[in-house]
Amino acid sequence: MNSKSFISLIIMMLALVLVSCEPEEIVIDEGLLIGKWQSQAGSKSEYYRYDADYTGARWNTAEDISEAEAQRFEWTLVKDDLTHYHIMTTGGNKVPKFYKVTELSATTLKYKDDFNKEFHYVKVSE
Amino acid sequence: MKSALKLLAITFASLVVVLMIGVAVVVWWVFTPEKITPVVQRQLNEMLVCETKVDRVELTFFSTFPEFALHLHGLSLVNPVEGAPSDTLVRAASACATVDVKEFFRNNAVVVRELLLSDASVVVYTNAAGESNYAVMPPSPEADTSAFELPVARLEIEKIDFHNVRLSYTDQPTKLQANLDKVQARMTVSGRGDLLKGKLHLATPAMEVIYDSIAYIASIPAHLSTDYSFEMNRFVLQLTDAEVKLNELPLELSVKIENHSKSDDLLMDIAFASEGKLPVKPVLGLIPREYAGYLEGMALDGKVSFEGSLKGVVSESALPVLLVKVGFDNSKFGYEGLPYKLDEMSGKVDVVLDLMDEDSWRIVVDDFHARTMNSQISGRGVVDDLTGDLRFDLKARGILSLADARPVLPDEMDIDLKGIARGNLNLKCRLSQLMNADFDRIRADGQFAISDFNAVYDTIRLSTRSAELNFKMPNPSASAPRFAQLHLKSGRLDIEQGTAAEATLTGASLGVSVSNLMDSTVARAFDVEGTIDGLRAVAGEEQLQTGAMKLVAAVAEDKTASGRSLKWIPEGSVRLKEGVVRLSGIEPDLEIPAISFDFTPDGIAINDSRLVIGYSDFQLVGTLTNLDDYLNNRGLLTGKFDFTSSTTDVNYLMKLVDGFGYGDSVAETAGLSVSAHDIRQVQESGSSGPFMVPKGVDITLNVKVDEAFVSTDVLSDVRGILTVKNGMLGLESVLFTASAARMQLNALYHSPRRNHLFLGLDFHLTHIEIEELLLMIPDVDTIMPMLRSFGGRGEFHIAAETYLDSTYRFKPSTLLGVASVSGEDLVLMDGETFSEIAKILMFNKKTENRIDSLAAEFTIFQQEVDIYPFQIVMDKYKAVLSGKHNLDMNFNYHISVTDSPLPFPIGVDVSGKLDDLKIRPAKPRYARLYRPAQRREIDRRQLEIKAMIRERLTKGVK
């Protein structure tokens, strides 16, 4: 193998490696998100409901809160970036929370925040 | 001489014997009954036009010695008249007349020694047509207009005796009837000219006098002893010095009855009187049965005296006036169903009966006195309209023992009354008004002075040494309810409820005007106007004391009110001064310098109200309206008030209200000074739990407080709006200055249910010392613990909300918030953490610890606080800080030095618990010369969020 061939091989391998290291683009069907999800953490009392109009509601039955009394939020899902905008009743302020979706199926939702804290939910109804 | 006398005696005796023999011959053989009976019968038939009959006539001498007497047996005069109870005028078993013949022949005088009538019946009757059965004399052939004169010079009847004679007199035109049974009577008659006079003694076991079908004397024993005279021409009958016994009751009687010659009217002048004082019961027996109904149920005993007269004309168109003056003494009176009996009753009563005018009949009560139980009453008055609806006009005065009211109080009302009431009562009413409780038409007024009054009902005691009570019915004021006006005045009035509470009113003056509250058919109303000089009330350790208070109120019933609308519509005002309230466990006293409010059917208007407690003072002015809509669920109870205070000690006021609704442990944990008594009261009242904001109300307070003590700070110039609206409590644009910082607060609290309470707030502080901020709001240290490392002046904005449970604990999943803090020329407080970070970042030890600027934004979600990248500029160093921490103080921060004298970038990660922080060098997350405004695309969203937070938080800050 001459030096030219060796350089070519190196370039090809480097190109291959570089191509393979390009992060894989995750395609998530946001339609799977629509429905009622139950947290699997702790007492599994926290619920999120994602509505098709990009709004949602969340409540914690352990704190004696029913779905009818749930707090509202808005959500976006761009690629794997899931953002919640929790709407404050007073003043209309919004509190954003940013997550990376790691798994979304018909039954399972997993995501984590910037500090790698993971959240795990199971769909309980559509 | 002696012989002559003897001869004379023998001669006289012989003559007497011969005379007696002669009389005997005449009586027994010449004037035998068989011979004289027809003669007498014939004479009677000639003299009288009625049917007469004599069974037997005897001429007696020896039985009537020394006079001859004509003795008729079986005499009857029959003269039937239509309507008469009998056709017989006279029926006598025996009638005897003894006539002095010598007087007749010598002196032309008829001297009847005796006129006897035995076992006889005399029935005198005149029917309605004027036909009389005693008209038995033949009519004169021509009218005799001459004056009547006796046909003899003198008429003497020494004795007229009736034995067992029944007399009956009936005069239908005058409706008068008299019956006397078994009459025993003796009468003398002496007549000269047209004058007859004599004496009469009469006794009957049963006398009856009936007028107009009413038996005024009903079959009672009667005795009469009198002198009499009768002028036949003038028809003047007089009874003088008459003594009468009716039912064994001795009476004095004088009678003069005169026939008016021209008008043919009778002039009657009869006077009668009891002989001394008579027992009441027999006297009442004289009252006609028709009037006895008035006495039904009455029990009367004692002594009574009376005198009276019957004067006036008796004619077709006139009747006399009957006047009876009754005096009673030491009598007793009781009435069935009336719980009171009158004792020691005395007085005088005049009964005036104009027999021609029943409408004028009246009873005049003069100087009446009586005692009942321990009370004394006296009075006078007039009762008239006796035959119709009795009308009373009474003026009474009395000394009443209030304990005597017990019998008229309901049995179920266990009330003990004591005291004396002295006063007057004037009453004008009719009997029907009393019987029918038609109090609207009764006119009455009274004035009573009440002393040593003490009333105990259940555990409540009301007492006063003296009070005045006046009332008038109807109310003389045309502009007030007309039924009655009452006025109560007392220098001191004490009220106690067991040993738990007591109150004293001084200088109380209370006037009340009422409509007839017992008449539910019309809209009822009452007006109240009263003043007191002072009130002192004590309940346990709680005390209330006031100065002068005035109440003016008009309350009217609304018959059309339905649902929950007010059925009693109030309108009026209250003024109070110098009130002091002392509550247990609370120092100092609550002072009420003044309060003044008007109330209307639809609300209350507080014109002035000033309260002082401790260092706090308040003035509350405003209106509360829409009460009717609120009561009927048609609308909100609306109030708008100005709350003005020069000084408000918020800490103290929070102590007053905090702890209510919590148990002991909660109160102790909270470090509250609320007494255990207060907590027990709350627990016992079942009102434990969180504050539930009232629904159905819309109350707005426009707050103006010059100086407010909050925590250790003093807030100045507090301005803002506090609103309670249909279950929500809000603070709107509340501005205040503290620690030289101007602050603004908006807050919202509502309580959908007890275990789900919402609290949201929007708080802005500008130009505040950070140290003061942390002292004032320690929670800021939880959100931004790094602030404790800074000193200097900055500004802080936060908007946060959360739901709370019934014990006011956060529901962590609901906590949301955004905050921002900024400052310039801050001083970095040297500390162990900073020193360690500075060492890793290789800060020069000479670096000035002054931070040129700081602008950080945060969000709070559940337990997490996200800190968005912000730059700190300090001396020659610039650093960017970001990260997050949990409210449990678990940190995950990163600091990148973006500009420094160092030739290479450097960073540090800070993580772990506050008491165990791990500070490690790290690859800087933010590039050299990084500016938060010049971010990579990945940070763009965070910059937008920061801008949004800041914009929203500072929007509307005044």
Q: Which residue has the tokens 């009367």?
A: B300
Q: Which of A29-38, B458-467, B944-953 has the highest mean pLDDT?
A: A29-38
Instruction: Pick A69's closest partner by Cβ from B756, B762, B817.
Output: B756
Report whether A99 contacts A115 (CB < 8 A).
no
Q: Which two tokens stand for residue B732?
A: 């709107």
Measured between beta carbons, the chain B residues lying within 8 angstroms of A94 are: 948
Return the closest-CA partner of residue B483 out of B447, B433, B443.
B443
Note whether B814 contacts A98, CB cutoff 8 Å.
no
Closest chain A residue to the Cα of B747, Cα to Cα: A90
Note whether B952 contacts A91, CB cutoff 8 Å.
yes
Note whether A90 contacts B948, CB cutoff 8 Å.
no
Within a domain: A11: no
pLDDT of residue B119: 93
Note whether B892 contacts A59, CB cutoff 8 Å.
no
Mind telling me how many Å the CA of B935 is from chain A's nearest CA?
17
Instruction: To the nearest 10°, report the CA torsion of B372, B375, B381, B387.
Output: -30
Note whether A71 contacts B945, CB cutoff 8 Å.
no
Contacts of B9 (CB under 8 A, 6+ apart): none
HEC-encoded secondary structure of chain A = CCHHHHHHHHHHHHHHHHHHHCCCCCCCCHHHHCEEEEECCCCCCEEEEECCCCEEEEEEHHHCCCHHHCEEEEEEEECCEEEEEEECCCCCCEEEEEEEEEEECCCEEEEECCCCCEEEEEEEEC
Measured between beta carbons, the chain A residues lying within 8 angstroms of B813 are: 46, 58-60, 63, 65
Q: Please report which confidence band the pLDDT of residue B424 belongs to, taking 50, 70 and 90 as the band edges.
A: very high
Note whether A65 contacts B813, CB cutoff 8 Å.
yes
Measured between beta carbons, the chain B residues lying within 8 angstroms of A90 are: 746, 748, 760-762, 799, 801
Percent of chain A with pLDDT over 90: 56
Note whether A90 contacts B746, CB cutoff 8 Å.
yes
Give residue-wise pLDDT tens across range B42-55. 877 887 888 888 89
The DSSP letter of residue B589 is P
Instruction: Pick A115's closest partner by Cβ from B761, B892, B945.
Output: B892
Distance (Å) of CA B89 to CA A75, B81, B135: 134, 10, 10
B815 part of contact set with chain A, CB < 8 Å:
no
Instruction: Pick A86's closest partner by Cβ from B799, B861, B952.
Output: B861
Stretch B798-824: mean pLDDT: 86
Closest chain B residue to the Cα of A46, Cα to Cα: B813
CATH number reported for the structural domain that contains residue A101 in this entry: 2.40.128.280
Q: How far apart are CA B134 and CA B49, in angstroms?
A: 10
pLDDT of residue A19: 45
Give residue-wise pLDDT tens across range B313-328. 877 788 888 888 988 8
Within a domain: A2: no
Return the closest-CA partner of residue B187 out of B241, B116, B253, B250.
B116
Report whether B180 contacts B204 (CB < 8 A).
yes
Report whether B69 contacts B31 (CB < 8 A).
no
Q: How far apart are CA B605 and CA B574, in angstroms?
A: 10
Within a domain: A93: yes
Q: Please report which confidence band the pLDDT of residue A21 belongs to, taking 50, 70 and 90 as the band edges.
A: very low
Q: How far apart are CA A45 and CA B328, in angstroms?
A: 98
Least confident of B199-203, B494-498, B820-824, B847-851: B847-851
Within a domain: A116: yes
Instruction: Pick A90's closest partner by Cβ from B748, B861, B866.
Output: B748
Within a domain: A8: no
Give residue-wise pLDDT tens across range B237-250. 898 889 999 888 89
pLDDT of residue A55: 96
Mind telling me how many Å the CA of B797 is from chain A's nearest CA?
13
Stretch B47-75: mean pLDDT: 81
Mind telling me how many Å the CA of A107 is from chain B's nearest CA?
23
pLDDT of residue B669: 34
User: Which residues, listed in sequence order, are joined to residue B228 by a DSSP beta bridge?
Assistant: B198, B239
Report whether B473 contacts B480 (CB < 8 A).
no
B949 part of contact set with chain A, CB < 8 Å:
yes
Instruction: Pick B816's closest partner by Cβ from A63, A88, A98.
Output: A88
Q: Please report which confidence band the pLDDT of residue B944 belongs to, taking 50, 70 and 90 as the band edges.
A: low
Give residue-wise pLDDT tens across range B457-490. 878 888 999 999 898 888 888 888 878 888 889 9
B746 part of contact set with chain A, CB < 8 Å:
yes
Q: Mutation test of the interface with chain A: which of B814, B894, B953, choosing the one with the most A Cβ atoms within 10 A?
A: B814
Note whether A93 contacts B803, CB cutoff 8 Å.
no
pLDDT of residue B601: 78
Measured between beta carbons, the chain A residues lying within 8 angstroms of B805 are: 63-64
Within a domain: A34: yes
Please report the ipTM that was assigned to this predicted complex. 0.84
Within a domain: A49: yes
* Number of residues in chain A: 126
Note whether A90 contacts B949, CB cutoff 8 Å.
no
Q: Which of A59-73, B23-37, B586-600, B666-680 has the highest mean pLDDT?
A: A59-73
Burial class of residue B170, CB neighbours in 10 A (0-12, 13-18, 19+): buried
pLDDT of residue B91: 92
Measured between beta carbons, the chain A residues lying within 8 angstroms of B859 are: 95-96
Q: How far apart are CA B635 and CA B622, in angstroms?
A: 19
Mean pLDDT of chain B: 80
**Number of domains observed in the structure of chain A:** 1
* Strand, helix or coil for residue B163: strand
What is the span of the domain harbouring residue A46? 28-125
Give residue-wise pLDDT tens across range A96-119. 888 999 999 999 999 998 778 899
B449 pLDDT above the threshold of 80: yes
Instruction: Pick B805's closest partner by Cβ from A59, A64, A69.
Output: A64
Neighbours of B23 (CB within 10 A): 17
Q: Please report which confidence band the pLDDT of residue B953 belongs to, taking 50, 70 and 90 as the band edges.
A: low
Give residue-wise pLDDT tens across range B737-792. 876 577 888 888 888 888 899 888 888 887 788 887 787 777 777 777 777 777 88
Least confident of B264-268, B536-540, B628-632, B687-691: B687-691
Closest chain A residue to the Cα of B954, Cα to Cα: A91
Give residue-wise pLDDT tens across range B495-515. 888 777 888 989 999 888 888
Note whether A86 contacts B816, CB cutoff 8 Å.
yes
Stretch B701-718: mean pLDDT: 84
Report whether B854 contacts B881 (CB < 8 A).
no
pLDDT of residue B583: 74
Return the closest-CA partner of residue B463 out of B508, B429, B423, B430.
B508
Please name the helix (run of DSSP H) or strand (run of DSSP E) that holds residue B656, with its range, or none: helix B650-657
Give residue-wise pLDDT tens across range B618-643. 898 999 898 878 877 788 889 999 98
B176 pLDDT above the threshold of 70: yes
Q: How far apart are CA B427 and CA A24, in angstroms?
A: 111
More confident residue, B163 or B810: B163
Measured between beta carbons, the chain A residues lying within 8 angstroms of B755 are: 64
Q: Which of A33-37, B671-675, B854-858 has the highest mean pLDDT?
A: A33-37
DSSP string, B258-324: EE-TTT-PEEEEEEEEESS-EEHHHHHHTS-HHHHGGGTTEEEEEEEEEEEEEEEEESSS---EEEE
B654 pLDDT above the threshold of 70: no
B957 part of contact set with chain A, CB < 8 Å:
no
More confident residue, B266 or B427: B427
Q: Please report which confidence band the pLDDT of residue B829 belongs to, taking 50, 70 and 90 as the band edges.
A: low
pLDDT of residue B236: 86
Residue ranges of chain A whose CB lies within 8 Å of a chain B CB: 46, 58-60, 63-65, 69, 71, 83, 86, 88-98, 114-115
pLDDT of residue B742: 76
Beta strands B109-126 and B154-171 are parallel
B304 pLDDT above the threshold of 90: no
Q: Please report which confidence band the pLDDT of residue B853 belongs to, taking 50, 70 and 90 as the band edges.
A: confident
Half-sphere exposure of B525 (CA within 13 A, CB side): 19
Instruction: Pick A64's closest partner by Cβ from B755, B812, B945.
Output: B755
B748 part of contact set with chain A, CB < 8 Å:
yes
Measured between beta carbons, the chain B residues lying within 8 angstroms of A91 are: 746, 760, 762, 799, 952
More confident residue, A47 or B540: A47
Stretch B291-304: mean pLDDT: 79
pLDDT of residue B5: 58
Mind telling me how many Å the CA of A8 is from chain B's nearest CA?
35
Please name the helix (run of DSSP H) or strand (run of DSSP E) that holds residue B922, with its range, or none: strand B916-922
B818 part of contact set with chain A, CB < 8 Å:
yes
Note whether A60 contacts B760, CB cutoff 8 Å.
no
Within a domain: A121: yes
Stretch B885-905: mean pLDDT: 83
